[in-house]
Amino acid sequence: MNNPDSFNWTDTQQRRLKELGAEESVFSEKLSSASEKNRRFQEIEKRLVKQQQKKLNDFIANASTPRLHQLERKLAAILKQNGFARVSTPLIISRAALAKMSIDNDHQLFRQIYWLNERQCLRPMLAPGLYSLMIDFQRLKHRPVRFFEIGSCFRRETDGAKHNSEFTMLNLVEMGLPENERLERLQALGRLIADTAGIDDYRFETEDSVVYGDTLDIVAGKEGIEIASGAIGPHPLDTAWKITETWVGLGFGLERLVMISEKETSIGKWCKSTAYLDGIRLNI
């Protein structure tokens, strides 16, 4: 008698069904024969392809906007309501700027950098640009100074389920807080962004970052997926940038926020892509 476990989906079939957005129950099906497995796969694939085609048709017909961009607009609006100015810094940064972030040839992050030439690279994070602005902003009389940036960052990633080589970051900074209010303010800002993004199961944890040392991270769900990393200044990195006052900062990955809010497990559907559009598989 054949063992039903011998007729589970193949790796290729599982990958195809995941690409098409199959429900979780499909992957636990036990099939009694190879012929039944192939028949069932074709049946499910046909149904899912029709669903994806309908979603794509509706998206175009309704002149829709991807959820990633909807989230960007929501977060920008809520931050503006809370007194944050929006800024924009260059995608291309210098080796010297990386060095100020303590990222040199021996650093763990160095091998993930996309180098354009000997002196320039695509930014792996927003922080160097924001640090540069902090130098000028600390000369202002107004306190606190609140600002944020939303933009693309680039890293050579190998974990396709939770990372992508091009991803969208939101970083916010608030300067000039009393020292005894920094942690509470950091948590309040974290809740503001997580709640606005529709994340309903998250918690704060202290972690060790390869750039910032001890950080206050926000993790979501039972798996504890990191959705944000926060830091407090004065910080050891401040010296290289000549920053001399208190600050708090938070960085969120927007694709990851969309993935979690949509109860998905793969980030690729929500990234900038020619294979997916707003979670819809295109080359079907």
- Tens-level pLDDT at each residue, the chain (284 residues): 444 455 678 888 888 888 888 888 888 787 778 888 888 889 999 999 999 999 999 999 999 999 999 999 999 999 999 999 999 999 999 999 999 999 988 888 888 999 999 999 999 999 999 999 999 999 999 999 999 999 999 999 765 556 789 999 999 999 999 999 999 999 999 999 999 999 999 999 986 654 555 688 999 988 889 999 999 999 999 999 999 999 999 999 999 999 999 988 788 889 998 999 999 999 88
**C-alpha–C-alpha distance, residues 109 and 211, integer Å:** 8
- Which residue in 211, 192, 237, 215 sits closest to 100, CA to CA? 237
CA distances to 31, 80, 148, 172, 253 from 151, in Å: 46, 16, 10, 12, 10
pTM: 0.88
Distance set, CA 10 to CA 2, 100, 115, 132, 277 (Å): 17, 48, 38, 51, 26
CA distances from 97 to 92, 103, 106, 210, 213 (A): 10, 9, 16, 16, 18
Domains of the chain are 4-64 (1.10.287.540), 67-270 (3.30.930.10)
**Distance between CA atoms of residues 122 and 188, nearest Å:** 31
